[in-house]
């Protein structure tokens, strides 16, 4: 059953020869503008692990390493922008700026980098890329590259694909390394279905200790953990999905249906935000968003609310924070736990009334709650360094239209049930 299913999925996701030729022609039209520069195609397109309709073409333009990192961020970007004038160009930001060219329906990342020799320490995060490409192309057969395609589509379907901070999941390179290690899509799943953190997968021996849920030393640079971005949540989701796919293979793992509606459980507050700045670095923004989510959770819990869940959704322009409480109605007073009897009690006693000693030997008091509006607490807890405005804030009183809110309410991923 699983072999027939995988063949059916692969037929949908594997590009045809015509697809490949079409992308090559379009990419070459862009590369022609970079004539005379040290430009190379990389990414999954070069490695032959790309998915139909998602070419993932990276064109790296290498500059001598002695020009330094600052040159890459300033002069190199100017050179590339001048060369590519006339194309639809967007400037994006990661460790340093790069350009995105949209040409005839294909998105091509133009990335400046520094030229280093094999074994040399990289100066920017992307300097290793040629060696990653070489390693994958020399360690995967054409059949195994199809196995990578299946693994990527599976990870996309269950929502764990992508190493960016917004996702904190598996990068394309990690999917390729997993197939290098285990040989096939099904063997990766058989292994991952049994994972217990920390998961250690050694293609090469690490050159230092790592403390992460997934430890996968980079064969190109064993001092780097290629799996460092993978959070415990994403690792757990992938392991659970692997287990259940092996029990009951289904196309829904690869192509999940839209989340079904569900009744509103508890009270749900939605806060919509618009980012006003341009040139937003997505990873920096989502680092701030994740801290805001944690802050909302902790502040409301400290206020005495029973928080079920807090999540954020969106892109670099429009964000949505969803807060779910058991109830927004709580009493005017709360139990306040103090120190054990053998500690210094003066501060607690001076600041509280109605004090007594509990059965556990700790001091307790009754404390009046602050009468702050939940909406205002959430607004003040959202802390972004970019300019933004709160567009809308409301309590859900009916089933939402937004797929992300439907998924937020339902909780159970569509591939699980």
Which class in CATH covers the domain with range 140-253? mainly alpha
Helices (H) and strands (E) in the chain, counts: 14, 16
Grade residue 402 by pLDDT with cuts at 50, 70 and 90: very high
DSSP state of 15: P
Instruction: Give mean pLDDT, residues 32-55.
Output: 93
Grade residue 405 by pLDDT with cuts at 50, 70 and 90: very high
What does the domain layout of the chain look like in residue ranges? Answer: 15-126, 140-253, 267-330+370-410, 333-368
And the tokens for 38? 């040290």
Is 132 annotated to bind a ligand? Reply is: yes
Instruction: Give mean pLDDT, residues 293-319.
Output: 95
- The alpha carbon of residue 378 and the mean position of all alpha carbons in its chain are separated, in whole angstroms, by 23
Torsion region of 383: left, alpha or beta (phi above 0 gives left; psi -120 to 50 gives alpha): beta
Please tell us whether the domain made up of 267-330+370-410 is placed in CATH 3.40.50.1370.
Answer: no
pLDDT at 207: 87
Which class in CATH covers the domain with range 15-126? alpha beta
pLDDT at 280: 86
Is 11 annotated to bind a ligand? Reply is: no
Q: How far apart are CA 37 and CA 61, in angstroms?
A: 7
Q: How far apart are CA 160 and CA 154, in angstroms?
A: 9
Greater model confidence, 92 or 271: 271
pLDDT at 177: 98
Q: What is the DSSP string of 199-219?
A: EE--SS--SS---SSEE-EET
Is 58 annotated to bind a ligand? Reply is: yes
Is 239 annotated to bind a ligand? Reply is: no
Is 44 annotated to bind a ligand? Reply is: yes
Tens digit of each residue's pLDDT (9 = 90 or more) over 250-303: 999 999 998 877 789 999 999 999 999 988 888 899 999 999 999 999 999 988
Position 342 pLDDT exceeds 90: yes
Mean per-residue pLDDT of the chain: 93
Is 218 annotated to bind a ligand? Reply is: no
258 burial type by CB count under 10 A (0-12 exposed, 13-18 middle, 19+ buried): exposed
Neighbouring residues of 234: CB distance < 8 A, sequence distance ≥ 6: 160, 167, 168, 169, 170
Instruction: Give kind and range of the element (H or E) at residue 337.
Output: strand 333-340
Neighbouring residues of 145: CB distance < 8 A, sequence distance ≥ 6: 47, 48, 49
Position 22 pLDDT exceeds 80: yes
Is 152 annotated to bind a ligand? Reply is: yes
pLDDT at 50: 96
pLDDT at 1: 55
Angle subtended at Cα 214 by Cα 209 and Cα 215, rounded to the nearest 5 degrees: 30
**Contact (Cβ atoms closer than 8 angstroms) between residue 333 and residue 369:** yes
CA end-to-end span of the chain: 19
Which ranges of 200-323 does DSSP label H, i.e. alpha helix?
A: 232-247, 282-303
**Contact (Cβ atoms closer than 8 angstroms) between residue 295 and residue 241:** no
Tens digit of each residue's pLDDT (9 = 90 or more) over 365-395: 998 888 789 999 999 999 999 999 999 999 9
DSSP β-ladder status, 106-115 and 57-64: parallel
Instruction: Give mean pLDDT, residues 116-131.
Output: 85
Instruction: Give mean pLDDT, residues 226-237.
Output: 97
pTM: 0.90
């Amino acid at each position: 059953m699983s072999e027939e299913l995988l063949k059916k999925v692969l037929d949908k996701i594997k590009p045809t020869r015509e697809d490949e030729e079409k992308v090559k022609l379009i990419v070459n039209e862009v590369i022609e503008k970079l004539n005379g520069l040290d430009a190379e195609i990389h990414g999954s397109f070069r490695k032959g692990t790309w998915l139909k309709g998602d070419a993932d073409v990276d064109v790296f333009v290498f500059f001598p390493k002695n020009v330094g990192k600052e040159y890459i961020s300033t002069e190199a970007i100017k050179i590339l922008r001048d060369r590519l004038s006339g194309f639809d160009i967007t400037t994006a930001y990661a460790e340093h700026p790069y350009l995105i060219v949209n040409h005839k329906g294909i998105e091509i990342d133009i990335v400046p980098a520094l030229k280093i020799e094999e074994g040399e320490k990289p100066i920017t995060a992307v300097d290793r890329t040629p060696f990653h490409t070489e390693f994958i192309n020399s360690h995967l057969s054409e059949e195994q590259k199809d196995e990578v395609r299946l693994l990527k589509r599976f990870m996309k379907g269950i929502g764990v694909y992508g190493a960016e901070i917004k996702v904190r999941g598996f990068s394309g390179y990690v999917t390729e390394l997993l197939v290098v290690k285990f040989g096939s899509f099904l063997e990766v799943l058989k292994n991952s279905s049994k994972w217990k953190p920390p998961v250690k997968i050694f293609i090469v021996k690490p050159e230092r200790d790592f403390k992460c849920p997934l430890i996968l030393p980079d064969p190109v640079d064993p001092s780097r953990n290629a799996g460092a971005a993978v959070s415990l949540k994403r690792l757990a989701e992938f392991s659970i999905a692997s287990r259940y796919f092996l029990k009951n293979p289904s196309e829904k793992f690869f192509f999940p249906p839209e989340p079904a509606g569900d009744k509103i459980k508890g009270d749900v507050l939605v806060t919509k935000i618009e980012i006003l700045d341009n040139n937003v670095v997505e990873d920096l923004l989502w680092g701030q968003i994740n801290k805001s989510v944690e802050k909302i959770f902790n502040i409301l819990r400290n206020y005495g609310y029973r928080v079920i869940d807090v999540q954020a959704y969106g892109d670099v322009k429009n964000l949505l924070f969803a807060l779910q409480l058991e109830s927004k109605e709580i009493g005017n007073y709360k139990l306040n736990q103090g120190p054990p009897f053998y500690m210094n009690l003066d501060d607690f006693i001076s600041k509280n009334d109605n004090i007594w000693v509990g059965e556990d030997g700790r001091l307790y008091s009754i404390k009046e709650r602050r009468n702050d509006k939940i909406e205002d607490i959430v607004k003040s807890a959202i802390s972004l360094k970019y300019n933004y405005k709160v567009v809308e804030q409301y309590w859900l009183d009916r089933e939402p239209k937004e797929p992300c809110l439907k998924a937020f309410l339902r909780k159970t991923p569509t591939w699980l049930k």
